[in-house]
Amino acid sequence: MIWKILYLVTLWAIGLCLIWLVVRSNLNEGVRAAIKLFAYLIALPAGWGTFIFLLITLTGSWSESESEVDPWHAMLLPWLLLPVICVFEVRSLFHRTVRLDDLLLPERGESSEKALKIAHLSDLHLTQRPTLGEGHSRTSILDHANRAIRWATESTDLVVLAGDITDRGDRDEWGLYEDIISQLDEPDRNRILVIPGNHDLSLTTSFIGLDGGAADVEHELRCRRFVEHCLAHAPRTWRLSRDPQTPVIEVLEKAAEFRRVYEAHPPKPVIVATGIGASLSFSVPQQLSKKASEIATEGLLWPTSKRYLYRELLTLLYPMVLFENETFVVVGLNSSTPCGTSILSSAFGQLGRKQLREFERLVELSDGKQLIILIHHHVGFTPAIRHRYRQAKPWISAKALQLRDGKRLVRKIKKRGRNVLILHGHKHIAYQASFASGVVLSAPSVAYGDSFSDQNLRGFAYAVSSSGEITLTQRFQL
Ligand SMILES: [Fe+2]
């Protein structure tokens, strides 16, 4: 009996370890789900079996002569739970969302001298393809982006680009963005605050299983392009939130330095003989480990001597302080971390616990200043907007397109007890809304306009006073 119990405990431990490893891993969602299911198949019956055999050992009340039920068969009972687990996995796609209230901002052409004037643009979808959906040509999209950015820099203090700058995060598309930006003077360029959107970083165009691994690789490549073509132009005023003295650009310079050493002296895979077989390991050249420890002593957690991943670099960089003076602080968040690798779920937004934790710390530090948050995804919908969305796109859950951890974000903002302003884009719908702790402003798309209006709206300008009072000062229409 003892051997049976040991065997089952081992199986149970293997299942639990697998689940633990998968939860902590960076594998894509499809592979994670498959391994998790396999681990449940092992762990559940093994755990239950251990319990049954322990019971038999302790009480001696279940023997094959006394019972018609074979304990080995009874072990399979937990498999009945599998459908329940599957339901929970699917349910996790449909998270709880934030309910917003309707808001109508006051409109005024002039704003007080002290107010911060912000142009709010989003979803430029720059592309090299001849047309995008709904028949928008490449040239018209480029023209809209050029005009919108020119309008924004002429009339405001700060210009916000709330993600989806490109349509597929390709190198050529980022080239178009660089062309637009290079036409501006340096002071104007430095007033443009950019965050990534799902099209820039995490969009997938097929289903799980077809390109699960490819989606991961593509995400990594897009993160690299975002770093090299967008963040590389960041002014020195963009700073790390976890170390407010360090400009983002300095981290990127160190990262580029490390990459040069990594490529010249890459780690080499080696097979290491062990007692009962062999395992794969990496030998790290001296130059590389020296560079890695140099960076580590400066407090940077990325990269390690064995790998550098741009998606991990972005995790280190966000939340990012994009602008700060004695009255205002503008924080950029990255909600385009992949929480799905299929066409069904890659448009979802997620900040992740790490980023939220850091954000909470930042919120505490910025107490006393007017906080403005830039994020790509919707934090929530008002009932009216949700209703309209359901009517327009009944086959897509409006919930699913919002930030999956929006509730957590709002909870952290509420702790602050002072009003904040959230600016975002994503679904190309212009609306103003409020919640207990602030105001949420959703931008139309510079490329596509506003899905719910025929006014050809492409952007807005607001004036934000030091006390958090917001007025709509301009609309950008084509
Ligand atoms: Fe988007």
Map residue 282 onto helix, strand or coil.
Answer: strand
User: Measured in angstroms, how far is the CA atom of residue 450 from the centroid of ligand 1?
Assistant: 13
> For residue range 249-306, what is the model confidence (pLDDT) as tens digits?
998 888 888 888 888 888 777 776 666 566 666 777 888 888 777 776 665 555 555 5
User: Measured in angstroms, how far is the CA atom of residue 336 from the centroid of ligand 1?
Assistant: 9
Domain boundary among 36, 68, 91: 91
CA 201 – CA 199 distance, rounded (Å) = 6
User: Measured in angstroms, how far is the CA atom of residue 292 from the centroid of ligand 1?
Assistant: 35
Q: How many helices (H) and strands (E) does the chain have?
A: 15, 19
Map residue 123 onto helix, strand or coil.
Answer: coil
Decide which of 162 and 40 is more confident: 162
Look at residue 338 and tell me if it is in a domain: yes
Burial category of 270 from C-beta neighbours within 10 Å (exposed 0-12, middle 13-18, buried 19 and up): exposed
Domain boundary among 50, 65, 91: 91
Do residue 229 and residue 356 come from a single domain? yes
User: Measured in angstroms, how far is the CA atom of residue 348 from the centroid of ligand 1?
Assistant: 9
Q: Can you tell me which residue has the tokens 């605050």?
A: 193
Do residue 113 and residue 166 come from a single domain? yes
User: Measured in angstroms, how far is the CA atom of residue 85 from the centroid of ligand 1?
Assistant: 30
Most confident of 119-133, 171-185, 265-279, 401-415: 171-185
User: Measured in angstroms, how far is the CA atom of residue 228 from the centroid of ligand 1?
Assistant: 21
Look at residue 402 and tell me if it is in a domain: yes
Do residue 113 and residue 210 come from a single domain? yes
Q: Report whether pLDDT(361) > 60.
A: yes
Give per-residue burial for 348-362: e unless 16+ CB within 10 Å, then b.
bbbbbeebbebbbeb
Do residue 398 and residue 328 come from a single domain? yes
pLDDT classification of 391: cutoffs 50, 70, 90:
confident
C-alpha dist (Å) from residue 101 to 35, 143, 440: 41, 35, 10
Do residue 463 and residue 369 come from a single domain? yes
User: Measured in angstroms, how far is the CA atom of residue 396 from the centroid of ligand 1?
Assistant: 14
User: Measured in angstroms, how far is the CA atom of residue 342 from the centroid of ligand 1?
Assistant: 15
pLDDT classification of 209: cutoffs 50, 70, 90:
very low
pLDDT classification of 54: cutoffs 50, 70, 90:
confident
Do residue 201 and residue 68 come from a single domain? no
> For residue range 431-447, what is the model confidence (pLDDT) as tens digits?
999 998 899 999 999 99
Look at residue 312 and tell me if it is in a domain: no
Q: Quote the number of domains for the chain.
A: 3
User: Measured in angstroms, how far is the CA atom of residue 425 from the centroid of ligand 1?
Assistant: 7
Do residue 140 and residue 185 come from a single domain? yes
Look at residue 470 and tell me if it is in a domain: yes
Task: Please give the structure tokens belonging to residue 266.
Answer: 């890459």
The CATH number that applies at residue 341 is 3.60.21.10
Percent of the chain whose pLDDT exceeds 70: 77
When mean pLDDT is compared across 157-161, 257-261, 281-285, 339-343, the lowest value belongs to 339-343
User: Measured in angstroms, how far is the CA atom of residue 376 from the centroid of ligand 1?
Assistant: 7
Model pLDDT, residue 211:
47
Look at residue 313 and tell me if it is in a domain: no
User: Measured in angstroms, how far is the CA atom of residue 347 from the centroid of ligand 1?
Assistant: 7
Do residue 371 and residue 404 come from a single domain? yes
Domain span including residue 144 = 98-234+318-477
Do residue 332 and residue 207 come from a single domain? yes
Percent of the chain whose pLDDT exceeds 90: 37
Beta strand 192-194 with 158-161 is parallel
Look at residue 208 and tell me if it is in a domain: yes
Do residue 374 and residue 452 come from a single domain? yes
User: Measured in angstroms, how far is the CA atom of residue 209 from the centroid of ligand 1?
Assistant: 23
User: Measured in angstroms, how far is the CA atom of residue 70 from the centroid of ligand 1?
Assistant: 55
Give 260's Cβ-side CA count (13 Å radius): 5
Look at residue 158 and tell me if it is in a domain: yes
User: Measured in angstroms, how far is the CA atom of residue 337 from the centroid of ligand 1?
Assistant: 12
pTM of this structure: 0.77
Do residue 130 and residue 192 come from a single domain? yes
Look at residue 167 and tell me if it is in a domain: yes
Do residue 350 and residue 466 come from a single domain? yes
Model pLDDT, residue 342:
57
Model pLDDT, residue 245:
85
